[in-house]
């Protein structure tokens, strides 16, 4: 080993790493107002009280005839009640017609109920002729087929409460009470920085020894999917001055800092030195595969993730550690990943003493290995999900049932 190498003092279990991150996260308090068409998936920042009834008037729930229910008593197909039609009521218009004894008004679904009427007879239960007579073939009760004013939402009722995620149906409730915009918690801004002298952006020709930046894009996708706003920049060289400047540049505007690379044990892995100088290291090194060289700390009280540079290790810990932390910060509920229980297609050998996230493909109902190496992004891109192999398990036999967490 080179004298300049700085090996891990020790690694901590995955559960302890998760607990330390959770303990350090403080949910975002910054607020903003957004229009309803931009509010899907956002977290409500205040209780919403209805300023008016919904619906704001009593309305027909069926196409048919607005009637006085008492006028239909005893009606049947053999002995219909005969009423005189006074015309038609349409949606969007309040009829001035008054329904009196022995009369009715043709009405469309959703149209305001006319004065005097207290029920609607479905058109299927009537027969009419050209002289304006309507034969009612079945009786109705008061308020039958009528949506009363305020039946959905009453004025003064708390429609939604602070902390609820704005789903399509909840946005519909806000629209129903006439809101054009809504107060929500801001999305955390997440600075994403790849480090390494060899990293260049896609689209730029590679010189000998260079590779394209992968982590910037995989991490941005995770951040956007879990309530954050990715703020990216070009890769930063492996120098103390460049890394220090990058952290200082990000710390003012970001709520979370995520750097990939520079968190291992080589002589150029200077990110830990910068973190120690700018804030606090909460842990460095997790007993997990892939993703052992992961660091976490605080800079100005803001979470700082130092993720491995290898694309598979980086993306794996992006799913396992960064995404839950982001959801906690953004006040979103914990994600509930889908999983399937299937047999393994071949024997899998795991490293003893390390919790492993092993990527697999699903082929004809069995789980086949997809993992190649931590530096190979196809270990993830060719996978349908992953299985978790605990620290005390070294072998998963062929045919053994496993739970595959789907990406």
The total domain count for the chain is 4
Same domain as 281, residue 180: no
Same domain as 198, residue 178: no
Same domain as 303, residue 378: no
Residue 255 lies in a domain: yes
CATH of the domain at 136: 2.170.190.11
Residue 295 lies in a domain: yes
Query: Which range, of 182-191, 298-307, 350-359, averages the lowest pLDDT?
Result: 350-359
Question: What secondary structure, in 3-state letters, does 245-297 show?
Answer: HHHHHHHCCCCEEEEECCCCCCCCCCHHHHHHHHEEEEEECECEECCCCCEEE
Same domain as 35, residue 25: no
Same domain as 347, residue 376: yes
Enter the tokens of residue 139. Answer: 């009786």
Residue 4 lies in a domain: no
Predicted TM-score (pTM) of this structure: 0.87
Residue 3 lies in a domain: no
Same domain as 25, residue 141: no
Residue 8 lies in a domain: no
Give the pLDDT score at 110: 97
Share of the chain above pLDDT 90, in %: 89
Enter the tokens of residue 35. Answer: 């229009």
Q: Residue 266's pLDDT band (boundaries 50, 70, 90)? A: low
Same domain as 167, residue 134: no
Same domain as 180, residue 37: yes
- Structure-model confidence comparison of residues 206 and 10, the more confident one: 206
Give the pLDDT score at 374: 85
CATH of the domain at 399: 2.40.340.10
Same domain as 318, residue 279: yes
CATH of the domain at 179: 3.90.105.10
Q: Which domain holds residue 134?
A: 59-147
Q: Residue 3's pLDDT band (boundaries 50, 70, 90)? A: very low
Domain finish residue from 169, 185, 201 = 185
Residue 5 lies in a domain: no
List residues bridging with 256 in a β-sheet: 190
Cβ atoms of 22 and 296 closer than 8 Å: no
Domain finish residue from 297, 313, 330 = 330
Q: Residue 2's pLDDT band (boundaries 50, 70, 90)? A: very low
CATH of the domain at 247: 3.40.980.10
d(CA 269, CA 6): 9
Q: Nearest Cα to 21, choosing from 279, 329, 265?
A: 329
Cβ atoms of 86 and 134 closer than 8 Å: no
List residues bridging with 149 in a β-sheet: none
Same domain as 241, residue 113: no
Q: Residue 95's pLDDT band (boundaries 50, 70, 90)? A: very high
Handedness of CA 123, 129, 133, 137 (dihedral sign): negative
Q: Residue 5's pLDDT band (boundaries 50, 70, 90)? A: very low
Residue 7 lies in a domain: no
Q: What is the dihedral of CA 243, 245, 246, 251, to 10 degrees?
A: 120
Position 8 pLDDT exceeds 70: no
Q: Residue 353's pLDDT band (boundaries 50, 70, 90)? A: confident
Q: Is the previous residue joined to 55 through a cis bond, with omega within 30 degrees of 0?
A: yes
Domain finish residue from 161, 185, 209 = 185
Q: Span 228-240, mean pLDDT?
A: 94
Same domain as 173, residue 35: yes
What own/partner pairs with CB < 8 Å and gap ≥ 24 does 380-387 have? 380/218, 380/311, 380/312, 380/315, 380/316, 380/407, 383/359, 383/407, 384/360, 385/339, 385/340, 385/359, 385/360, 386/316, 386/357, 386/358, 386/359, 386/360, 387/344, 387/357, 387/358, 387/360
Q: Nearest Cα to 386, choosing from 401, 365, 406, 362?
A: 406
Cβ atoms of 228 and 303 closer than 8 Å: no
Residue 1 lies in a domain: no
List residues bridging with 369 in a β-sheet: 360
Same domain as 309, residue 208: yes
Enter the tokens of residue 21. Answer: 């991150």
């Amino acid at each position: 080993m080179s004298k300049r190498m700085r090996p891990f003092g020790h690694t901590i279990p995955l559960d302890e790493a998760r607990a330390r991150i959770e303990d350090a996260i403080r949910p975002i308090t910054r607020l903003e107002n957004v229009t309803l068409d931009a509010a899907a998936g956002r977290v409500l920042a205040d209780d919403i009280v209805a300023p008016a009834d919904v619906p704001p008037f009593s309305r027909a729930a069926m196409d048919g005839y607005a009637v006085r229910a008492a006028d239909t008593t005893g009606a049947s197909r053999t002995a219909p009640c005969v009423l005189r039609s006074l015309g038609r009521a349409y949606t969007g218009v309040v009829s001035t017609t008054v329904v009196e004894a022995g009369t009715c008004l043709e009405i469309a679904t959703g149209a305001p109920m006319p004065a005097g009427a207290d029920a609607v007879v479905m058109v299927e239960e009537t027969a009419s002729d050209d002289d304006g007579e309507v034969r009612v073939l079945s009786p109705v009760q008061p308020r039958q087929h009528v949506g009363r004013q305020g039946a959905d939402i009453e004025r003064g009722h708390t429609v939604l409460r602070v902390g609820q995620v704005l789903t399509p149906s909840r946005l519909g409730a806000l629209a129903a009470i006439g809101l054009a915009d809504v107060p929500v918690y801001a999305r955390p801004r997440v600075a994403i920085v790849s480090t390494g002298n060899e990293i260049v952006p896609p689209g730029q020709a590679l010189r000998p020894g260079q590779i394209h930046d992968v982590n910037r894009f995989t991490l941005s996708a995770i951040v956007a999917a879990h309530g954050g706003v990715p703020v990216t920049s070009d890769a930063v060289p492996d120098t103390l001055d460049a890394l220090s400047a990058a952290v200082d540049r990000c710390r003012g505007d970001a709520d979370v800092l995520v750097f990939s690379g520079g968190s291992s044990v080589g002589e150029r892995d200077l990110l830990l030195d910068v973190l120690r100088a700018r804030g606090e290291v909460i842990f460095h090194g997790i007993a997990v595969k892939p993703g052992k060289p992961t660091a976490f700390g605080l800079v100005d009280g803001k979470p700082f993730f130092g993720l491995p540079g290898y694309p598979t290790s980086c993306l794996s810990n992006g799913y396992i550690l960064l995404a839950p932390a982001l959801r906690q910060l953004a006040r979103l509920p914990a994600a509930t990943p889908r999983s399937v229980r299937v047999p393994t297609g071949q024997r899998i050998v795991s490293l003893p003493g390390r919790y492993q996230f092993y990527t697999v493909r699903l082929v004809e109902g069995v789980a086949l290995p997809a993992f190649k190496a931590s530096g190979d992004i196809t270990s993830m891109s060719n996978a349908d999900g992953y299985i978790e192999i605990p620290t005390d398990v070294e072998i998963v036999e062929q045919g053994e049932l496993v739970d595959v967490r789907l990406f």
